[in-house]
Amino acid sequence: MAQQNSFVQQYTVTASAVALADHQVINSVTISAKSTNTGIAYLGFSSGVTSANGYPLEKGTSVTLRIANTNQIYVAGTASDVVSTIGS
């Protein structure tokens, strides 16, 4: 039987870029911005992600990525907004 590596997690966004938690990704990960967020979350692949260079994730939207580990993704934006991940 194949090893299952599914995960679901929520993150509170801060103004400074922070890496997502360490989860090995076998297939893909979807990152969603909560519909009640007040700002835009910005995603990137380094701790230098900002509104000037990050991928904008507006409230209520999501993006699916194929990466090796969620800790490769950094998020910054409006403090107290929330992004969620689900993947396997």
**What percentage of the chain exceeds 70 in pLDDT?**
95
Task: Give the pLDDT band (50/70/90) at residue 84.
Answer: very high
Q: In this predicted structure, what is the pLDDT of residue 3?
A: 54
C-alpha 70: how far from its chain's center?
8
Task: Give the tokens for residue 74.
Answer: 């950094």
Model pLDDT for residues 39-48, shown as the tens digit of each residue: 999 999 999 9
C-alpha torsion 41→45→50→55, nearest 10:
-50
Q: Which DSSP symbol is given to 1?
A: -
User: Which are the contacts of 36, defined by CB distance < 8 A and separation ≥ 6?
Assistant: 59, 82
Task: Give the pLDDT band (50/70/90) at residue 4.
Answer: low
Q: What is the DSSP string of 30-72?
A: EEEE-TT-SS-EEEESSTT--TTTSEEE-TT-EEEE--SBGGG
Average pLDDT over residues 25-53: 97
Domain 9-87 CATH assignment equals 1.10.10: no
Q: In this predicted structure, what is the pLDDT of residue 83?
A: 98
Alpha-carbon gap, residue 12 to 34, rounded angstroms: 10
